[in-house]
Structure 1
């Protein structure tokens, strides 16, 4: 098995765990405050991880100017994508809003081809589409007239949000590949450290200007938020490593297994029951992922 496959699955699992921890903070923090914890508390761990790997590898890679440009572009794109997703929550429910951001793998494939010249096979595209249908089955609460109207209102914001997430993936891959040398862990951890610190500073500045006192509340919530940071940095390190090893479109497509982890969490921790539509969606996601890995 190629290394990027288990790394991506682990990253998706850790991302789901981080989301569960962030959900527990929502009552104490604003939406932006809970979002900021993933960056603010992850930054110190990202720096420590990079420092340890760099010391073990005997030095820090000399970063070209494009590394910083790609890193900042990816960091900003991810923040803007999150902002758009948050704005959708006031227009429709969480599941419908999230469904449209899951067009990200398809858009990532397009951006990867346009910006990096990376081709995606027809079989991989088919797998991505099958997984996308599965995500929509799980996320959209019944394909009735009302839900379709909600989709029409929300679709463009969701698609743009997914596109920005896709652009951030391409930017992170470009930043990591711009570093000299062949050491995957060193390049991945360097990219992660720079991007996470940049995002933490940006989010602290945003909270200071837009939500007075929220930055202090984020710091007071450290007992839970620190675990958000640990899960976040480990998950992000997995994503960045996978981006360095394989095309971002394939990584993001395989990352759709996060939806299955979410369903498992709903069953095991929240004692929720799945309906036939959700089961069918999970089967399609799994089938699409298998198709992606076999036909790519």
Structure 2
């Protein structure tokens, strides 16, 4: 059920900032361990999330909601799923290039559609499902990394570590979206943006406890490195907070699958960042994949009208 048209610009802006943040975070991952690279987005993102929540409250004063106790449980579940998804995505980068790693994770759109139907009863129109299929076909074409592949080669590629970790990442990102949507519903506010920002602050705080606690127990030496990279990690935190605020607002106002299929436009920005920021080449097949992703987004938008 769509409760506000704000989900559309939120999904588009979320796609831009996420692509930018992922590009920068990949550079951070070169000097940090897997878990430390994941921690920076939560640790450095929380101050910016608090600023966003405080600023919004100053501009739009009103009674502060009293969330249901289940609110924290959904924040915890969504936050843990996002930690796992992020770590899997960083692992995918280690096997293939930046664009391909992100492309595999974008199977999240179809996984999210199925999971949201099974767990939340969210139904989509045939046109929306066609848009999801078109978008997934596009990201799968992008996953070839510009290589010419027959059906047998493609099926074989799906068994490679990059594919398995990327698809698993998409699964946990889909669970993240469902957990966050449920958390915003438990906040008890008619203001979707306020609910999204409250969930964002709570989720980031819980993620810092979870992943930070893991580092204290298992990788204590990485903690000093997390703080020593504050210049670039601060950029990751800022973009992560802005992007998550947009995604959470989208989840609070529209079905998970619809937000995510529009958010696939991130792949276009990922190609741009991969080419201009990281120096990766764009193949002709990747352009075709991009057109399919764009077609999927258009069909999803048409289904919402």
Match of 2:258 in 1: 250
Kindly indicate whether residue 155 of structure 2 is the aligned counterpart of residue 152 of structure 1: no
Match of 1:182 among 186, 190, 202: 190
Q: Secondary structure at the match of 1:29?
A: coil
Match of 1:74 among 78, 85, 104: 78
Distance change (3 Å), C-alpha of 1:87 and 1:15: closer
| TM-score, reference length from structure 1 | 0.91
Q: Secondary structure at the match of 2:203?
A: helix
Match of 2:11 among 5, 8, 11: 8
Match of 1:46 in 2: 49
Kindly indicate whether residue 114 of structure 2 is the aligned counterpart of residue 107 of structure 1: no
Q: Secondary structure at the match of 1:61?
A: coil
Q: Secondary structure at the match of 1:60?
A: coil
Checking the alignment, whether the CA contact within 8 Å between 1:80 and 1:161 is kept in structure 2 is yes
Q: How does 1:124-135 map to 2 (within 5 A)?
A: 124-135=128-139
Distance change (3 Å), C-alpha of 1:190 and 1:35: same
Deviations 1:12-53 (A, max 9, x none): 101111112212323322232222111110012212322333
- Distance (whole Å) between structure 2 residues aligned to residue 44 and residue 21 of structure 1: 19
Deviations 1:48-106 (A, max 9, x none): 3223333542342101011111110100111122233444556x424555433221111
- Distance (whole Å) between structure 2 residues aligned to residue 50 and residue 274 of structure 1: 39
Kindly indicate whether residue 25 of structure 2 is the aligned counterpart of residue 22 of structure 1: yes
CA-atom RMSD, angstroms?
Answer: 2.2
User: 5+ residue gaps in structure 1?
Assistant: none
- Distance (whole Å) between structure 2 residues aligned to residue 158 and residue 231 of structure 1: 22
Q: How does 1:45-64 map to 2 (within 5 A)?
A: 45-55=48-58, 56-64=60-68
Kindly indicate whether residue 125 of structure 2 is the aligned counterpart of residue 118 of structure 1: no
Checking the alignment, whether the CA contact within 8 Å between 1:253 and 1:289 is kept in structure 2 is yes
Match of 2:177 in 1: 169
Between 21-30 and 92-101, the greater mean CA deviation after superposition: 92-101
Count of residues in correspondence between the two structures: 295
Checking the alignment, whether the CA contact within 8 Å between 1:207 and 1:214 is kept in structure 2 is yes
Between 213-222 and 261-270, the greater mean CA deviation after superposition: 261-270
Checking the alignment, whether the CA contact within 8 Å between 1:14 and 1:234 is kept in structure 2 is yes
User: 5+ residue gaps in structure 2?
Assistant: none
